[in-house]
Structure 1
Amino acid sequence: MSIKYRPEIDGLRAIAVISVIIFHLNETWLPGGFLGVDIFFVISGFLITSIILREAEENRFTFKNFTLEELNESIQPLSLSWHWFLSLHQLFLFIKISIN
Structure 2
Amino acid sequence: MDAANGTRALAHPTREEILLEGVLHALSDPVRLRMVRTLAASPERLSCSSFDLPVTKSTSTHHFRVLRESGVIRQEYRGTSKMNGLRRDDLDALFPGLLDSVLAAAARQERSP
Larger radius of gyration: 1
Q: Relative contact order: is structure 1 or structure 2 higher (C-alpha 8 Å, sep ≥ 6)?
A: 2
Query: Per residue, is there more strand in 1 or in 2?
Result: 2
- Scaled by the length of structure 2, the TM-score of the pair is 0.29
Q: TM-score, normalised by structure 1?
A: 0.31
